[in-house]
Structure 1
Amino acid sequence: MRLVFLSLGWMLGILLAAEVTHLTPVMWLCLVGMMLILCRLNWYNPPFRYVNIALLLLTLGGLRYSLIPQTSDLARFNNTGGLTIEGVIDTEPDIRDDRTLLTLRVSHVIRGGQTIAVNGQALVTAPRLVDVAYGDRIQATGDLITPGEYDTFSYADYLARQNVFSVMEHTSIQIIHTGEGNPLLAAIINLRQHAKRWIETHLPEPQAGLLTGILIGLERGISPELNGDFQRVGASHIIAISGFNMVIIAALITGVFRFILPKRRWLALGFSTIVIVLYTLLAGANAAVIRAALMSLVLIIGQDGFQRKTYVPASLFGVALIMSLLNPNVLWDVGFQLSFFAVLGLTWFVEPLENLISRVLPGHIMAFLSEPLIVGIAAQIATLPLILLYFGRVSLVALPVNLLVVPVQPYILFAGGAALLLAWLPAVSQVLFWLAYVALSWTIGVIRWFADLPFADVGVYVHPRWVIGGVLIVGVFMLMKDAKPRWLRLIQNQAVISTGFFSGFALILLMGAIGFSRPDGKLHVWWLDVGHSHGVLIETPGGAQILIDGGRFPSRLLTGIGDRIPFTDQSLEMVIITQPDGFDTAALPAVLERYDAKVILTNGQPNLSDEFAELEEAIAPYDVLSVQTGYIVTFSDGVQLEVLHPQTQPELNDSINAVPLVIRLKYGDISFLFTGDLSAEGQAVMLDAGVNPQATVMTLPQHGTRGALDPNFYHHVQPSVVVAQIDAANRRGDPFEGILAMIDVPLLRTDEHGTIHLWTDGKHLWQYQ
């Protein structure tokens, strides 16, 4: 099991480097050198040898991650207007109902008659019927932009892990010439397309689309409605070639060959391996499929070949180490995570489940159910935390559905696969397709019937901390159970003492968490990374929390709040709604479902939008005050909040950007000015009314768009620091270069630093790095 702990050290280093981004490769290299020296000094000290090696691998993992490109040469042309890019289509075109997605390996940018050599990849959205193929050199014309950020999904991060930092939408395509791709990959893609057409010739829909998805991983022929039904009943693993279904397929295939060759274990294992390799090639042999196949082979070789329980986890972690060495971003790939946990689930849970079910079922029924039912349950138990974390839904009918449809999947695989292999015998192939048709129809019928049930699935929200904590606890327990170290056996023999010890340890951790979450006597201000919107969280020295706006993405806002206020605190002392703009407030109803608000401040401006109607309904149970300039709140810890704008009660027809709430927060000698979306017109009105907006820190109005900051207003504020809440993927080109040139003090931007955290004791100002 040493390989497990060494691999954990490596992967922890990658995760640490992803969080501590200011450490450069040179710094990580210095840490590697220090650990090498430490390993050499303690090499003959067994208790410390492997700990030091694990720490060495941690620094090596950090070094490997720090070498990943964070941008591309091509990305400097993002958000700069229309242009033409030339390159080679690097993967199989992704044909969807309304468009085709092309991953382009770009070699040149063409603009204004100039051709500029560049390196980088772009994701190009082309018309659906565009006639292009893998390996074609094309020119694409359109707007090159930075990928966006969404509520629960960062498209920019998703593409960055594939080394794609630019996207081009609504493009026109021109083919230059063809055949520049890898010949082997091109042959595999052509084989898959021929197989797809052969299936479509011999089967109707939706059976043809389902068989294509199961056999060769091309899921676009499955209608969105049927795909949704599979997800609703917890059977999407059948059509998605990931580790979740690959390990089930591997277990089923191995079971069949064990039945055919009961006394020739290694021969059965060899045939199973050949089938899995062929299936991998037919499914496209892309990175995700290869990862799933490798992990499946680790499972069957470990359990059926070497018949050692510890072999599988150790080998699995070793495979993960190699994969993350080749591409550290694989650790964030959901398919990789599902593959990893599904294999662990089959390793850890199949035998206990067999023992449990064998007590209540006869032997012959148990033999029939052992593969389809127990394998499915074990994989689903292991992957349930990930499903909760990423999808937030749980199927209540997954168990009966899998019991009914998983047993027929081997028949679909063998009949469908044989029909393709015997395509040179059309009559035989058609008969095999008819056999597959029966099993496919049964699968679709069961899925649709259960999906129509009103209780088929339920939405469940579990905080990521609970999911991660639970996975860590179960994972450590199962690893210790397999490894059986001497210290664990000692603890097991003293159950009462160990229970008291671990309970006391947990109590100490809980008390420590509560203690660390107590106010520290300083004023903290967080400009939350909520996209191209305003969202500020404030904690006063006495522990009062104030939320100003919050953006339009509930999950991002709730995470930003939950990460920063005590987990025992479910209330906000004050919520401030600066203006009736859904772009800045659409996430607030979700917050008010989870947290109580003592008081809510608004500017009192009416609005007829649906978003504002929802917000009004959410704030109705609370004390809502309409405030204008001159309103002041003084907290018991000395913090003063004052409203500087609007000057009068806004009317329905007033421009919302001319009359938002402008808040100044003071603590001792330090002050913060929160301008929201205050327009240059509103800034002029404030100055004309004699308002003095001077502040130490100023929020850049309107994200620094063109014309957003009046030079005279900036001169009167006299800030020492300016903070801008900006989405890197915004299409307005914010912040405007002219405004950046005006700012002569440090500018902190959420698109560069993420959430900005400043705090003060009333005399000094600090920034969290």
Structure 2
Amino acid sequence: MINQQRLLEHLRGLTLVLLAGAWHIGLFAASFVGLPAPLFLLALGVLFASIVLCWRFPLYWLLFACCFCLFLGMWRYTTAIQHDNPYVLTNYLKQSVSLRGIVVDEPRLHERSRTLIVIVNQLSEDDGQTWHETRGKIIIQLRAIALNDPYIASYGDSLELRGKLQLPFTHSPDIQASMSFPRIMVRDEESNILLKTLYQWRMHLVHILLQTLPQPEASLLVALLLNVRLPELQPLEEALRLTNTTHLISPSGFQITLLTGLLTRGFRYLQPRKGKSPLPAQRLRDWRQWLTGLLSLSCIALYSILCGAGPAVLRAALMGALVVLASRMGRIYNVYTALAFAALLLTLFDPFLLWDIGFLLSFAGTLGLVVLTPVLLWLLRPLRKLPLCTLLQEPLATTFAAQLATLPIQVIPFHQFSLISPLANVLAGPPMGTLMLLGLLISGLGLVFLPFAQICAWLAWPLLWYTDTVIRWCAQLPYASLTLGELPAGLAIPYYMLLLAGIIALRPLTTTAEQPQQRMHQPLWKLLRLVLVAGMLPCIGLLAAFPPARGELTVTFLPVTETTHQGQAILIQTQDNKLALIDGGADPVLLSRELDSRLPFWRHTLDMLLLTTPRREHIAGLQTIVERYHINTVIDAGMLHPDATYALWRRTIDERNLHYQPVSRGTILPLGSLCELHILWPLQELHQGSNEVRDNSLIFRLVTPQFSMLFLGATAMSSYALNQIEEIRDSLQADIVQIVGSATKAFPSALQSVLQIAHPSYLIITPAAQSAREKDVPLIQHPPAGPWYTLQTIQSGTVEIHSSAQGWSCNPG
């Protein structure tokens, strides 16, 4: 009896932990057993009766309650798997079917596509004539060129799909199939308006961050603050994986904990004054306590929704909510109980979360920080004797704790072990709290007045640049990570048993371990940060308001054909710092990277943007630029019969309230005080014909006192346009001529005549659109011949043209 009482005393406060553990063991065991659900219901009835009979015997009651949760978990998993439904999705793999369902997760963005998760509720084998009830989850892949494309399906939409079911291209037990580029019809009458509205607000916050910061820093802050992975972040994601720092931008308890702390400080004026701390009974009746608690819970819930409400986010939000409730109700917060409650509640609604890598990493990482950090602080106590190493003790302890707790979950599925992780986390971890705060300020101020948000972005950029640089540098070090072969999943069991034995052995020694003390005096550190901010803002503000004169004109052909091998993007920078961008290529990621790397981080304004032809390989990259930059004037020649790509382009211009100017022959566009663009084609009344897009593309001439350049663009392949412009011979002469060409199509004879009139020194050829089957774009073997030097950007890459009072030069590569 005495032993039972001692055991119950040790288990006091951990009842929910034991019950949740039994529940999860039941879920895991059911994936191997495969017994029918009625058998589990029979066992549950017997165990429930045993619990009622043993109510007066706490130890036996707890034992039967754990067994009840065990079988309850097995029953829940069995009911979630459809065994007897003849219309289960896996029975229709490699068949064309029609499906109805709703998009239940945010779109996953890729370079030129996006993927959606759809819960299917109806299936048809006869092209929608008859529908059968089913239940399953599929992943679909769609084409997309914009972050928030209104012409394709998105979060919360009810869809009707038609396509061929394939094996899923993602490893997740709850996804039964996939569809690539299916035929889609959005059923607006059954869409979830709430989910769509919340997603639109989330994308609005993403656009605020993108408009105030360059790439890749903007994508890094978007991932940290809103858990949105943009295609521009993909190069850094590989470095994050090699350095085991992915958790820095993943939804975790860190963001929720920081948010809870900020809310607590913000609502201090509602708290009782110092010296008047209420008793627990008084706290329950104090309206101020409940008001602050309600506001904190509301903010945590809203932030969780804005972060996507994924498993890791919900786990952190539930634990943060329990912290707030425990404080308001005068209860002691038990992190083990909170973690068990969060895991139990989430897997109750979705039992397949137990196999979700993100959920497992979040759960194990949080538990490891709580259990292992005190042990590691005790082991690292010799660092306190070394100068300037006291500040490293806690970051090293938390880094090692998270890595040890999640090691099997990272190594076994991904076959990667990071050796540089401790150093990378120590160097990249400290700015995360400040970046989180600045990100919230940028988002909030951007909703009110974007220039205010820009000021906060100036403060965030150095920290983002530092984080990006440190992570990339660590990833490039020799032996930063080891690539391992296939490891058995069962290896995790002995690993965690050894880890548990070590914790039990060392835990008693950690009770006397002291927390590391910060050596820097807090007021001094705050004063230092204030001085840095006060000195940084005026300097950046002066540079942004009064940029230094360049003294030369620069025309840069940006290398945006690395992945698509098609399209063009040309940046013009005048002597007095005016900027014009011509076309954007087919890859928005490459264009953003190239453009942002050539501009100061505080500059997000383009004086002019020209679209020479509404073809996708010219307009796709510009779509992102129009959303991110403030553009004084947007210029194109219009389109007789707009397609979906051009319609989205014009819609985005209207939504951003940008000044749009259609142009035709005779229009002169000043670009600064020393540079003009003379429009030579098309005519005011657009030409109608079988090739009207190409025939009505822009032709213009860049004119400065010392230099001129003729942009023929896509009209180099149009006999109609070339014949028409021969009549304006005096306007065609130029030092350099640019054309768009393809190795599979011959140039028209009229091009040779125009080039003879222009008499350039250089002929620059950018690649035209290629078919999907052409992987490598060949050089044009027979370009127009003449007394000029020919450059093909597909071979030379970046081409820069410089013009000043001393003359001009063309520098390939």
Report the TM-score, using the length of structure 2 for normalisation.
0.51
**In terms of Rg, which structure is larger?**
2
Distance 1:3 1:479 in 2: 21
Q: 2:477 aligned with 1:448, yes or no?
A: no
Report the Cα distance in structure 2 between the residues aligned to 1:30 and 1:473, rounded to whole angstroms.
38
Change (3 A) 1:70 1:78: same
Letter of the structure 2 residue corresponding to residue 4 of structure 1: V
Amino acid at match of 1:169: S
Counterpart residue identity of residue 123, structure 1: I
Quote the Cα distance in structure 2 between the aligned partners of 1:227 and 1:206: 11
Q: 1:111 to 1:99 in 2, by over 3 A?
A: farther
Q: 1:179 to 1:2 in 2, by over 3 A?
A: same
**d(CA) in 1 for partners of 2:479, 2:342:** 39
How far did 1:285 drift? Answer: 2.2
Report the number of matched residues.
Answer: 467
Paired position in structure 2 for 1:280: 304
How far is 1:97 from its partner? Answer: 1.8
Letter in 2 for 1:124: I
Match of residue 222 from structure 2: 212
Instruction: Report the 3-state secondary structure (helix = DSSP H, G, I; strand = E; otherwise coil) of the residue aligned with 1:62.
Output: helix
1:60 counterpart = 2:83 = no
Mapped pair 1:124 → 2:140: yes
Q: Are 1:15 and 2:28 an aligned pair?
A: yes
1:25 pairs with 2:37: yes
1:354 to 1:401, Cα distance in 2 relative to 1, 3 A: same
The Cα of 1:447 is off from its aligned counterpart by 0.8
- Structure 1 counterpart of 2:113: 99
Task: State the alpha-carbon separation in 2 of the partners of residues 357 and 276 from structure 1.
Answer: 35
Aligned equivalent of 2:176: 165
Aligned with 2:495 (options 467, 470, 478): 470
Q: CA deviation at 1:477?
A: 7.3
Alignment counterpart, residue 426 of structure 1, candidates 429, 444, 450: 450
CA 1:112 to 1:382, structure 2 compared with 1: closer, same or farther past 3 Å? closer
CA contact (8 A) 1:298 1:316 kept: no
Question: Which residue identity is paired with 1:165?
Answer: Q
Distance in 1, Cα, partners of 2:304 & 2:407: 25
Partner amino acid for 2:157?
A: D
1:144 to 143, 165, 186: 165
From 12, 19, 26, give the equivalent of 1:6.
19
Task: Measure the CA separation in 2 of the matches of 1:394 and 1:101.
Answer: 29
The one-letter code sitting in structure 2 at the alignment partner of 1:352 is: V
Instruction: Work out whether residues 319 and 342 of structure 2, in 8 Å CA contact, stay in contact via their aligned partners in 1.
Output: yes
Give the drift of 1:403. 1.1
Cα shift at 1:254: 6.4
Of residues 173, 179, 183, the one that matches 2:193 is 183
User: Quick one: structure 1 residues 295 and 391, their matched pair in 2 at CA, closer, same or farther if it must change by over 3 Å?
Assistant: farther
What's the CA shift string for 1:671-722, capped at 9, x where partnerless? xxxxxxxxxxxxxxxxxxxxxxxxxxxxxxxxxxxxxxxxxxxxxxxxxxxx
Report the equivalent of 1:534.
none
* 1:196, distance to aligned residue in structure 2 (A): 1.5
Q: Which amino acid aligns with 1:97?
A: E
Q: How does 1:515-664 map to 2 (within 5 A)?
A: none
1:141-194 CA distance string (max 9 Å, x none): 32123437xxxxx73xx1x42xx4332224233x34436333332222011111
Q: Does 1:247 align with 2:253?
A: yes
- Kindly provide the amino acid, as one letter, of the partner of residue 321 in structure 1: L
Indicate the SS of the match to 1:361. Answer: helix
Contact 1:295/1:319 (<8 A) preserved: yes
In 2 relative to 1, CA 364–253 (structure 1 residues): closer, same or farther, beyond 3 Å?
A: farther
Structure 1 residue 37: deviation in Å?
Answer: 3.8
- C-alpha displacement of 1:256: 7.3
Give the alignment partner of residue 431 of structure 2, picking from 382, 404, 408. 408
Q: Distance in 2 between matches of 1:269 and 1:353?
A: 34
Who is 1:111 aligned against? 126
Q: Which of 414, 428, 434 is the equivalent residue of 1:391? A: 414
- Structure 1 residue 204, shift from structure 2 partner: 1.4
Distance in 2, matches of 1:272 and 1:419, equals 20
- Equivalent position SS for 1:284: coil
User: 127-136 vs 447-456, which deviates more?
Assistant: 127-136
AA of the residue aligned to 2:317: A
Q: Call closer, same or farther: CA 1:477–1:35 in 2, change over 3 Å.
A: farther
C-alpha spacing 1:322/1:85, structure 2 compared with 1 (3 Å): closer
**Superposition deviation, residue 405 in structure 1:** 1.2
1:344 matched to which residue of 2? Answer: 367
The 2-side partners of 1:41 and 1:346 are apart by: 40
2:472 partner amino acid: R
Instruction: Find the counterpart in structure 1 of residue 354 from structure 2.
Output: 331
Identify the residue that residue 498 of structure 1 maps to in structure 2. Answer: none
Residue ranges of structure 2 left out of the alignment (5+ in a row): 1-13, 146-150, 278-282, 284-288, 510-813
Whichever residue aligns with residue 375 of structure 1, its letter is T
SS in 2 for 1:126: strand
TM-score scaled by structure 1?
A: 0.54
Change (3 A) 1:483 1:184: farther
Query: Percent identity among equivalent residues?
Result: 26
1:34 aligns with 2:46: yes
Q: More deviation in 444-453 or 278-287?
A: 278-287
